[in-house]
Structure 1
Amino acid sequence: RIVQDIADRIEPGTRFLLDGDPSGEENDRWNLLRTVGCAAAFLITFILELFGIIGHETSAIVFIAVFVLAGADTIVSALRGILHGDIFGEAFRMTVATVGAVLIGQYTEAAAVMVFFSVGELLEDYAVGSSRRRISGLLDMAPKVAHVETLMGVKDVDPESVSVGDVISVRPGELIPLDGIVVRGSTELDTSALTGESIPVTVDTGYKALSGSLNISGTISVRVTDTFHDSTITRIMEMMQDAGDKKAKSERFITRFARYYTPIVCLLELLVAVIPILLGMDAKDWIYRALTFLVLSCPCALVISIPMTIMSGIGCASSHGILIKGGNYLEMLSQVDTMAFDKTGTLTEGRFSVVDVVSDERDLIEKVSSALECNSNHPLAKAVCREFGGSDLTAEDIREIPGKGMSGVIGSTMAYAGNSRLMSDLGFDVDDPEGRSSIHIVYDGRYLGHIDLEDTPKDNAKTTLSELKRLGVRRTVMLTGDKDSIAKDVSSRLDMDEYRASMLPQDKMASVEELIEDSDGCTVFVGDGINDSPTLRRADIGISMGQIGSDTALEASDIIIAGDDLSKIPLAMRISRRTMSIVKQNIALSLGMKVAVLALTLFGMSEMWYAVIADVGACILAIVNSLRALNL
């Protein structure tokens, strides 16, 4: 009752059904039968009168009956609208126009308008329902059941009731319902619903299994690490559903436009009815034209199709593993002027390898570096840990020194691992090899030497940047904490416009602010979604790469690209531009048809039912056109 009261204040006559309520299908069936029956009665009567088989009085009775039966719901909605003070509602305008036609003796017109309007409503409902099902089909990936392993056997339960630590069984052909770690079995996972990648991923014991992935081959047991509400698939779906709340400028414009369009057309209708009569022209003819204006005063084609087009574009992007958090970001992607990139892991592979150890105490430097670096998630630290393995030394009181390195206590001895800036702070004047990254080690106040590492650009980095240029991105900038020689080398190999080296996290954010000031359009920052969270938030659009299961990435980024494929960035831009092109087409189509019929009506060259056909036709064409944004 509360929901119904609220809905009636927004749109009188809105009808709510409980999920699974069979009366919904019965009501749809009744509306279809009634509309088809009225349309058949109207057509038969029209033909019989046209050939003189029945008289005008008989046809008038049938037409009035058709008008009342076909327009019953519309008339009731109009009366509800009057009670709620809604005099610009579609039902009210349609009722006034057709009742006016009856009063001036245009029975055929009144019946035709109500029949066409009812047919149009059915077609609109079908088109909207079909498009929503297609969009929700792309986004609704949540599994409906989880097989929990218990001492009594396997129990099927709702995924929402599964607790962290429970072990669930996932069979071939099933979706993984919750995030977890594989504890038994091995299989291949189809992660295309999350990443857009069609190549299966092989997982074994100890591997992370993300919810929403499809198990292809073997049965696996997964120990749950996140509740259903915290799992990847749930957070992605919530994010996509929330995307509708972040309106594109075009959506906000249409909302404002609709607010003024209907009153203006109604004012024109009043002028069309009154002024000619005051000038002594035929009152019946001009009242009829004014009523036709009233039929055209609804901007429903725009109000329905524009948001649908935006959501279709977001749905298309999600099918390619590109998660866009709002229509505003989708629209802004079509206006990108400057794009800044983090280097490591974004433009480069982010998988460093140790190429040299420069030290007179190689064994000690390996042990000290492992003891410190194996406690860090930094790509350089991971490379050192991977190369040297664990250490028989244990570091305690480990501290990250942002943009410089880390420190720790080994035994009772202070140790440091970091770049040349950290060494400078410690009083050591060191040089880095040209074109390489280095980790310098200080132990017990002594400089032990440095470990040299290399990273290489991703295979498609250069072609992606070239394609961005072709799409109109004026300026590409690389922001990195690496020294100048490394930044210069990578920037040159990728043909970037500029680079900025030796940057701390706060320096990157300041650079993005500067780029925004200098930009003629939208400024984008692309990073890993974890180490660059403040910079991602500061950019007009923050894009994170490869962190589909990361809380930080989902919160800090406006767009999340699953996997590390850079080519999805220009793909996202193409989806954005195609979507906005369809938005413009729908605006032109809807307004063009209305303006054309309004002009014809003003000069007495249009019938009222033409107006209904134009109004409904524009709406249906715009809705169908919006579905094109689902595919690229």
Structure 2
Amino acid sequence: MPCNDVKNKKVILISVILFIIGFYLRYMGYELASFILFTVTVLVAGLGIFKEAFTSLYHGRFTINLLITIAVIGAFSLGDYPEAALVILLFYIAEYLEEYATGQAHESVKNLMQLRPETAHIKVGEKEVKVDASKVEPGNIMIIRPGDLIPLDGKVIDGSSDVDQSNITGESKPVHKTIGDEVFAGTVNLEGYLEVKVIRKSQRTIIVRVIELIEKARMRKSSKELFMDKFASYYTPTVIIGSILIALIPTIILGSPKTWIYRALVLMVIACPCALVISVPVAMISGITAATREGILIKGSSYLEEISKVKVIVFDKTGTLTKGKLKIKEIKAYNDTDVLKIAASLEKGLKHPIAEAIMELADEKGIEPVKVKDPKYKPGYGILGEIDGKSYFLGQNTRQDAETTSIFLESEGKTIGRIILEDELRSSAPILIKRLAGENIETVILTGDGPKVAEKLAKKLKIDKHFGGLLPEDKFNFIENLRSTERVVMVGDGINDAPALAAADVGIAMGTRGSDIALDTADIVLIDD
């Protein structure tokens, strides 16, 4: 089928209108007019299919297009014009939907490529030169300023900053980077100045690996779809030979050629596995429709079938088991209102998940921030400022293996308060995990957050297997290895989950927070998660 979306839609619209009018005219007794309309429907929707069928036959290949073509010819020969038109129309629609889904997935991969900046600022001696990112070599020094999208993978050799790498690792908070730490292409430098030594060419960055893994998994997954072509390569010649034998042998032995040719044509029509080729059983359609009403989009009946055989469900953490947004869990202080007011005053105006959580709670409690004199922000460490003549420092716990996200408020060298934040657990998560355990389905947590964070969440949910500090490729490899022994579902929401979603037998994406690539790569989408 041609990949012209507008043309395909027009063909479907015209064919459906012609078919409906033809069916009505046949019902009203206008046989000739209905015959003409059914014939035009077959030609409009079927010309491309017939051409592909005979081209494949010419090259010695028996495809599903040939089987459909034979069924249509047989139906016309028997005078079953509506059946012939309906078979070709439904087949065309099914082909279009498959092309559309594939096109959407490829479009998302192209959008993912845009995460890679086309240029990089390279340090040459004491000068700064803007060059094409594809020409940058390992060993070159990149200059990364606040707000920059990092163009290539590298190691920090000077400076420090917080980096938002949620699209690569899925971590719910920015990660502090200093000398010796690795940064990834496609991630965002938030506040500090960095000099980064390139360690991979643009063709081998982590983000490129993500794209390659998605395509690799999609190609592997499409092997299931190739079943129909394999099936047709044996089934079609069998039907053709069977029909020829029915037409010839009884005619030679018993005579009555018209009777046996008619029966041969009947065999060709009834042998066409239209239900298998075009749609799904009524039970599958009912299941998909019911799921849609509940806010679950299932992209094909095969995934509904696969999920019933699943033994292991693997969950991402951030945005999947949790809400993906930091909230203040507790303020440990003699006067928590004062601590919150000072913290809100220091953090006001900063674009940072921790700052947003503090400002949100302050707003809820009706606390108004006050003016801070001479505020100084130190990326990755905290913010220093003077309020009412007193000096305050709001500092972060920068340990990535910490179980919780916490910040400390200090004044004159003494800690006067501690604010503990957490990525809030979804209320439905414990119920779901308990129910899956009751069904003897194993659950696993994979996350880009630190191992301690993964362990804490796993304990809370009573999940035995948990792995932290993972990159997209690590998640992909885990799913691939697991698939060698078990049927696996992967549930996630971010770019970092997309390769694993594609690799799993069934990938499920969270619709509300899900990135475009995750939504298009997944087989099932939870529209309202």
**What TM-score comes out, normalization by structure 1 length?**
0.42
More strand by share: 2
TM-score (norm 2): 0.49
Q: Which has the larger radius of gyration?
A: 1
